[in-house]
Structure 1
């Protein structure tokens, strides 16, 4: 079985696949008479191709038991898809570049739960991988008449490999 090392989710590391949605380093300014801080333009929502429209959903992810094996990937060729956690619960992200799926180019990241992700249009990714407990996410993606989800099974499974510090960071 092949292994995939899980790395810390950062803006720089995730940039080839989309946006990391987090407050740290975001442009922000006061609004509403100084009673609110606005963190501005955190992700590029790209859903209007072929008459698409933005959808706002809530996904409730069941926790996955370790070890985790990756056996499939999916992509949304007509729009981006953003996952914004509602609580600080750890979760994993597995991605591969847009285009023809090449499992050798997959990367895995872990989030402490206060970071969201916005997959760019066509980027391959695994469905939600919540850890520890049930986790809720606001999901912004594309609605429209055309099919917008491609799924592929991998020829062989990939096991996620954690550094000891990642497994212990709860």
Structure 2
């Protein structure tokens, strides 16, 4: 079995796959007479190709038991897909660049729970990997008539491996 090292989710590391949705470093300004702080344009929602429209959904993810093995990936070729956590519960993200799937180019990240991700159109990713507890996410993705989900089964499982400094529930 191959291993995939899990790294900290940062904007810089995630650029090839889409956007990290977080307040730290985001453009913001006061609105509503100064009673609200607006964090502006946090992700590139790309869903209108071929008549698509944005969908706003809630996903409730069941926690995964460790160790986690990756045996499949999926992609949405016609639109982006954003996951915005509603609680500060850590979760994992496994991605690979858009195009022909190459398992050697997979990367794994852990989110602190207040970071969301927006997968760019066509980026390969694993379905939600909640840890420790049931976790809710607002998901913004594409609705439309055309099929928009491709799945790929890996020929060999990959086990996620955490650095010793990352404390996750076992």
TM-score tier (shorter)? over 0.9
- Whether the 8 Å contact between 2:54 and 2:140 is mirrored in structure 1 is yes
* Cα RMSD, aligned residues only: 1.1
Cα displacement (A) at 1:164: 1.7
Flag structure 2 segments of 5+ consecutive residues without an equivalent.
none
Cα displacement (A) at 1:165: 1.6
Cα displacement (A) at 1:75: 0.1
Where do residues 23-38 of structure 1 align in structure 2 (5 Å cutoff)? 23-38=23-38
Cα distance in structure 1, aligned partners of 2:168 and 2:136: 22
SS class of match (1:167): coil
- Deviation per residue, 1:73-126 (Å, 9 max, x gap): 000000000000000000000000000000000000000100000000000000
- Whether the 8 Å contact between 2:20 and 2:116 is mirrored in structure 1 is yes
Cα distance in structure 2, aligned partners of 1:19 and 1:122: 14
Structure-2-length-normalised TM-score: 0.98
Structure-2 residue corresponding to 1:82: 82
> How many residue pairs get matched?
170
- Whether the 8 Å contact between 2:26 and 2:39 is mirrored in structure 1 is yes
Displacement over 6 Å in runs of 4+:
none
Structure-1 residue corresponding to 2:60: 60
Cα displacement (A) at 1:169: 8.3
Cα distance in structure 1, aligned partners of 2:167 and 2:2: 19
Cα distance in structure 2, aligned partners of 1:168 and 1:21: 22
Cα displacement (A) at 1:168: 4.6
Structure-1 residue corresponding to 2:92: 92
Cα distance in structure 1, aligned partners of 2:126 and 2:91: 12
CA 169–63 in structure 1, closer or farther in 2 if over 3 Å, else same: closer
Cα distance in structure 2, aligned partners of 1:73 and 1:168: 23
SS class of match (2:26): coil
